[in-house]
Amino acid sequence: MVRKAVITLACSVLLLSAGLTQAARPDKDWKEWFGNFAIGYAGIDGDEGGEAFNDDWYFEGGATLWPDSSPVGLSLNVSYSEYDAKNSVVQLINDAIDDNGGGRPATGGDATLWGFTADAVWGTRSKGSVDFSVSAGAGMYYYKTHLTTSSLVVYPPICGWWWCLPGGVGTGTTALTSNSDWEWGWNVGVGLTFEVGSTGSQIFLEAKYHEIQTDRDVEITPIVIGYRW
């Protein structure tokens, strides 16, 4: 549902702004590269992600190459997000462990996702301080999943120049299983940009849909607020 809303909104903005030729780049004609960072919340869905993991925080940063004479910019970004496994999924795994003769029960799990994307960015440029933007692109994604359990852990001593904390044995969290890989994916997004005073910098709101081509497609839709300078 979120994916369809983002794609539909992006296409609508393109149609409504087809008569405008100047792009919504930051109003700084003396430079072509613009830095940006953003924070938001990502919904996770797809054949596997939405069934197994909870939505969580999302972080992104990078730079955009956008010459003053060009209506389109090239945005290069690195993103990071981490998703905790749902309790219902952990329980299903423990039921399967019991059915296969028992073993150490799982106590939790998580998935970490890094994205490295390159997107084309286009937008309107009105006489006011608020504009629309749309983007589309592709990239590589690195994911790592853990299934964890509680067990006894040996803690080594920690020492400084003139002090030392003794080690010991206590309850800790260790990995039952771990899996990681690189996969490619694509994305499409739509956003609003707001000029910041007379500086030419921008605050932006953006919703972007990512589809990652794992064995079972994983989809995330982060909604972020960010700053571009």
Question: Under 8 Å CB-to-CB from 216, ≥6 apart: which residues?
Answer: 46, 47, 48
Q: Considering the domain boundaries, does residue 213 fall inside one? A: yes
Burial classification of residue 214, based on how many CB atoms lie within 10 Å of its CB (0-12 exposed, 13-18 middle, 19 or more buried): middle
The residue segments making up the domain with residue 89 are 2-10+55-132+145-188+195-228
| Domain assignment present for 65 | yes
Q: What is the DSSP string of 39-90?
A: EEEEEEEETTHHHHB--EEEEEEEEEE--TT-SEEEEEEEEEEEEEBPHHHH
Residue appearing with tokens 């794609």: 7
DSSP 191-228: EEEEE-TTS--EEEEEEEEEEE-SSS-EEEEEEEEEEE
Domain total in the chain: 1
Specify if 15 maps to a domain: no
188 neighbors 197 (Cβ within 8 angstroms): no
Q: Is 34 contained in some domain?
A: no
Query: Cβ–Cβ contacts within 10 Å for residue 151, how many?
Result: 13
In a domain, 44, yes or no: no
Tell whether 102 is covered by a domain.
yes
The tens place of each residue's pLDDT in the chain, 229 residues long, gives 445 445 544 554 444 444 433 447 888 889 999 999 999 999 998 655 557 889 999 999 999 999 988 889 999 999 999 999 888 877 877 777 776 666 777 778 889 999 999 999 998 766 667 888 999 999 999 999 888 877 666 778 888 878 888 877 766 677 678 889 999 999 999 999 998 877 778 999 999 999 998 877 789 999 999 999 9
This prediction has a pTM of 0.78
In a domain, 155, yes or no: yes
Residue 109 contacts residue 85 (beta carbons within 8 Å): yes
In a domain, 158, yes or no: yes
